Structure 1
Amino acid sequence: MRSLFEAHERFKEKSLKIRRFKHKDLVGLFAKIPFEKTVVGTSYEGRPITKIKVGQGKRKILLWSQMHGDEATATMAIFDIFHFLQAKGDEFQGLRDSILNELELHFVPMLNPDGAERFQRRTAQEIDMNRDAVSLQCPESRILKSLVLNLKPEFSFNLHDQAKYYAVGNTGVQTTIAFLATAYNEAREWNAGRIKSAQVISCMNSALQEIIPNRVARFSDEFEPRAFGDNIQLWGSSLILVESGFYPSDEEKQYVRALNFQSILIGLQSIAQQSYTGYKIEDYESIPENNRVLLDLKIKNLAVGEGEFQYVTEVGVMQTEINSRNAKKFTLESVIEELGDLSVFSGISEWDAQGGRFRPISEFPELMKEYKIKNAPKCLKIGEPATFVVDFGNAQTLILDGKII
């Protein structure tokens, strides 16, 4: 339903403009929501974890976001969905009524508020709670398991963000949305519950293909015995895992947020109307695999060395977001990640340096002064900053912290 995606701006929670918001930024938003609110527990550092209930249907659905504190795209989309469910009398009233009359929705928009405070993946205990479904060392993990066991939801939506280095199959095209119908055992067998997960995902994928054709992928279903997704499937709830990837020029993931808004609502509609039953496992398995094969920058045909020691190589550069002290902003740092034959990798950006030779920027004091560079590597080395010069003889190109200047 492309019209739902196109209408997203009408329902958007305007106060959430960047990914690095914190729990305190949601407190006022929770207060405005006219649905049933319950504090289901507190985080390790004492922050309340809130569940929102809406709908009067018989089929229970549990949705949670920010199990990892730095994965905030779906959290923004959930607040947009709250606005959508409050609206009345528009062209989506039939869809809205269907969801609210058939389903009982339970949302936990921020499951790991301590991680969100630091904008980090792990909890305040430095534990990845998505590997804590068995040991339950985190209070946040115990809250989630309790919700699943007490509510007994027919479907569960496990909402994440993934790294930007995934591509759709062998295309080299960056994955924007990835799905997974998690396995419940090492044999990766298909029972009725897992089949339903795959059917709903297939419906969501079909809708997304109208907007982002060939940018949807399917995550590996290797069984992870410690993960919540795999265990929730085992515990009897059909688990739909959504991974928000990246889209070009969408640094704060607002475009991907709108895709989440649309696809989650489509998934809920398919459950409410049971339209997912028209899909088969084959539809799910036809979604290309999600492959981690991307680099931020791939430089091809770069000459290195002199005389008998000269060779031509490829250079792979990757960027890391470095949080500011309060984790509200970030800077990018780039390092050389790979050298050699990089034919199995693609670059989000690619550049052919044919005819150019590596030279350390220390040989160009005027450039060091102009760009205020104090230290730079004297050779190509993995893990070193991606700052150097490509010399073409009569011209030079500066690679400055992984960017082509």
Structure 2
Amino acid sequence: MKSSLGIPVIFIFLSVGLYCCQEKEGKPSAINPEILESAFAKYKEPSIDNRRFGYQHIAPLISNRNAQFETKVVGKSIEGRPIHSLSFGEGARKVLLWSQMHGNESTATMALFDLFNFLEGSGEDGFESIRQAIRENLRLRFIPMLNPDGAERFKRRNAQQIDINRDAVRQSSPEGIILKKARDEFSPDFGFNLHDQNRYYNVEGSSLPATISFLAPAYNKAREVNAVRSKAMKVIVGMNRLLQQLIPGQVGKYDDSFEPRAFGDNIQKWGTSTILIESGAYPGDPEKQFIRQLNFMILLDALYGIATENYLKYTEEQYIAIPENDSKLMDLLIRNVETVAGDNSYRTDIGIKSSERFLDSLILMKGNIVDWGDLSVYHGYKEIDASGMVLEKGKIWKEEIPMEKLTQGKAMDLLSEGYLAVATNKANQGQVHQLPIVVFTEGNEPNFTTTLDEPPLFYLTEEGERKIAIVNGQVVMLEEEDFSFWQLIR
């Protein structure tokens, strides 16, 4: 069963047996997925429900931790925002986890606060054996938001415009200095470098998105495997084993070319077994809440595996067998449409990607044509086989229509008559609407040129009849009136 967002809804029927971590070959096995799902449902942090939040949102979630956590301000960002570490556990094996080094990569940050709730949970919740194993065998240290200035703007870089993940050696940023100092003083056995990747990564040889990608970074140019890197590989194999039960075929692995400026590569070189986790995309999950759940599950499972040394049963060969990432995904791929250039009629594919713009709780998508021609090696989150269809340019309704009269029905009528854009009063510029047509004001008339890097605005017709409108990269089925997207008045 799926939710209205297309995200799997899992009904869990728990018995006493499900709460027992089974024994295998004398060692504790990994945690059953049903237990991890149940733990997430119970301990998900309710105050975070989308991926755009700043330091002020997480500050009370840090200060209100119970006595099992030791919290500390380890430094401040360029703009003076505190950077916190939280410590948990009393074991000998040390694990450092850091997130949101890039300010707009917050999926794992959400999962860390879910994990904090779990770790300080009640002993009567059925999960105490997992919690106890972690508490007694591990000393955990978390830096949940390394780049609070970037998070405030939901931008990748810090306030200096520095990519902190390329500042491991030069140490030009206070945030990079803080992370280096935290690693050196704590001297962790394991490190988890938590990121997000763009949604255009697919699993090599597949049309499936790389929803989660891993890397055990190289520590030298020769990409050799020593004992430190081998341990990271084995931990990743355990997480992949879990994910293949949840999102089969949607796990990729990064190329391991050595990057001498990056923190992951250098922390591996400095003697900490380092695991990179990158959260990609999952269809129907724009706020990455299902991927947040996956992060919680694999992190908890990995920490338990390190605590029990269960990860040692896996092999380097199993890591190598994880397929690599590719970058062959588009938001929309139109195949085999007929079009004209001069006197030449020809068949083409059209690839469209959309950039995000955030407005309060809304995500606005702006489409661009990024490729044109033979795109047979690419895949789309949405695909249209336009065989037998012709690309037709649209028209502009230049007579201003007041917004109160521009109803959904009126917009659909205009679309059906060949108008892809309509004028309205200048006073409405910048307002948000959910009409299946471009609305513009004087001086902002759209360009209907179907060329690269232009907004996609055209029809697909069949035997002279308009069947599909492509509006700003979004698909509008004219016969079904099937659409759901937000736009700004130009």
User: What is the aligned partner in structure 2 of residue 361 from structure 1?
Assistant: 394
* More moved, 190-199 vs 376-385: 376-385
1:2 corresponds to which of 33, 36, 45: 33
Please tell me whether residue 331 in structure 1 is matched to residue 402 in structure 2.
no
**Which residue identity lines up with residue 245 of structure 1 in the other structure?**
G
Aligned mates of 2:59, 2:256 — CA distance in 1? 36
SS of equivalent to 2:159? coil
Asked if 2 retains the 8 angstrom alpha-carbon contact of 1:362 and 1:376, the reply is no
SS of equivalent to 1:376? coil
User: What is the aligned partner in structure 2 of residue 253 from structure 1?
Assistant: 288
**Which residue identity lines up with residue 234 of structure 2 in the other structure?**
Q
User: What is the aligned partner in structure 1 of residue 381 from structure 2?
Assistant: 348
Please tell me whether residue 58 in structure 1 is matched to residue 92 in structure 2.
yes
User: What is the aligned partner in structure 1 of residue 473 from structure 2?
Assistant: 402
SS of equivalent to 2:146? coil
Give CA-to-partner distance per residue, 1:343-388, whole Å, 9 cap, x none. 1211111001112222222276644238244433333211000121
Residues 237 and 204 of structure 1: CA distance in aligned 2, closer, same or farther (over 3 Å):
same
User: What is the aligned partner in structure 2 of residue 11 from structure 1?
Assistant: 43
**Which residue identity lines up with residue 12 of structure 1 in the other structure?**
K
Asked if 2 retains the 8 angstrom alpha-carbon contact of 1:360 and 1:376, the reply is no
Aligned mates of 1:376, 1:361 — CA distance in 2? 11
1:28 corresponds to which of 50, 54, 60: 60
Please tell me whether residue 46 in structure 1 is matched to residue 83 in structure 2.
no
SS of equivalent to 1:395? strand
Unaligned runs of 5+ in 1: none
Deviation at 1:135, TM superposition (A): 1.2
User: What is the aligned partner in structure 1 of residue 249 from structure 2?
Assistant: 214
- The alignment-based identity, stated in percent, is 45
Asked if 1 retains the 8 angstrom alpha-carbon contact of 2:332 and 2:352, the reply is yes
Please tell me whether residue 281 in structure 1 is matched to residue 316 in structure 2.
yes
Aligned mates of 1:127, 1:198 — CA distance in 2? 29
Aligned mates of 1:372, 1:153 — CA distance in 2? 54
SS of equivalent to 1:146? helix
User: What is the aligned partner in structure 1 of residue 135 from structure 2?
Assistant: 100
Give CA-to-partner distance per residue, 1:69-95, whole Å, 9 cap, x none. 001111110011111111122322111
**Which residue identity lines up with residue 52 of structure 1 in the other structure?**
L
1:391 corresponds to which of 457, 461, 465: 461
Asked if 2 retains the 8 angstrom alpha-carbon contact of 1:377 and 1:388, the reply is no
Unaligned runs of 5+ in 2: 1-31, 397-416, 423-435, 477-490
Aligned mates of 2:253, 2:92 — CA distance in 1? 30
SS of equivalent to 1:210? helix
Residues 257 and 26 of structure 1: CA distance in aligned 2, closer, same or farther (over 3 Å):
same
SS of equivalent to 2:112? helix
User: What is the aligned partner in structure 1 of residue 102 from structure 2?
Assistant: 68
Greater relative CO, 1 or 2 (CA 8 Å, sep 6+): 1
**Which residue identity lines up with residue 266 of structure 1 in the other structure?**
D
Residues 53 and 306 of structure 1: CA distance in aligned 2, closer, same or farther (over 3 Å):
closer
Deviation at 1:121, TM superposition (A): 0.7
Aligned mates of 1:306, 1:214 — CA distance in 2? 40
User: What is the aligned partner in structure 2 of residue 81 from structure 1?
Assistant: 115
SS of equivalent to 2:96? strand
**Which residue identity lines up with residue 368 of structure 1 in the other structure?**
A
Asked if 2 retains the 8 angstrom alpha-carbon contact of 1:183 and 1:221, the reply is yes
Larger radius of gyration, structure 1 or 2?
2
Cα RMSD (Å): 1.5
Aligned mates of 1:330, 1:347 — CA distance in 2? 20
Aligned mates of 2:302, 2:395 — CA distance in 1? 55
**Which residue identity lines up with residue 75 of structure 2 in the other structure?**
G
**Which residue identity lines up with residue 263 of structure 1 in the other structure?**
I
Give CA-to-partner distance per residue, 1:138-168, whole Å, 9 cap, x none. 1000000011111110000000111100111
* More moved, 212-221 vs 17-26: 212-221
Residues 366 and 334 of structure 1: CA distance in aligned 2, closer, same or farther (over 3 Å):
closer
Aligned mates of 1:103, 1:366 — CA distance in 2? 63
Give CA-to-partner distance per residue, 1:217-237, whole Å, 9 cap, x none. 111111111110001001110
**Which residue identity lines up with residue 79 of structure 1 in the other structure?**
F
Aligned mates of 1:397, 1:313 — CA distance in 2? 17
Deviation at 1:306, TM superposition (A): 6.1
**Which residue identity lines up with residue 96 of structure 2 in the other structure?**
L
**Which residue identity lines up with residue 367 of structure 2 in the other structure?**
S
* More moved, 229-238 vs 354-363: 354-363
Asked if 2 retains the 8 angstrom alpha-carbon contact of 1:209 and 1:216, the reply is yes
User: What is the aligned partner in structure 1 of residue 164 from structure 2?
Assistant: 129
Residues 365 and 313 of structure 1: CA distance in aligned 2, closer, same or farther (over 3 Å):
closer
SS of equivalent to 2:350? strand
Aligned mates of 2:75, 2:328 — CA distance in 1? 39
- 1:145-160 equivalences under 5 Å are 145-160=180-195
User: What is the aligned partner in structure 1 of residue 452 from structure 2?
Assistant: 382
Aligned mates of 1:377, 1:265 — CA distance in 2? 50
**Which residue identity lines up with residue 85 of structure 1 in the other structure?**
L
Deviation at 1:330, TM superposition (A): 3.9
Give CA-to-partner distance per residue, 1:170-224, whole Å, 9 cap, x none. 1110111111000011111101000000000001111111111111111111111
Asked if 2 retains the 8 angstrom alpha-carbon contact of 1:337 and 1:382, the reply is yes
SS of equivalent to 2:388? coil
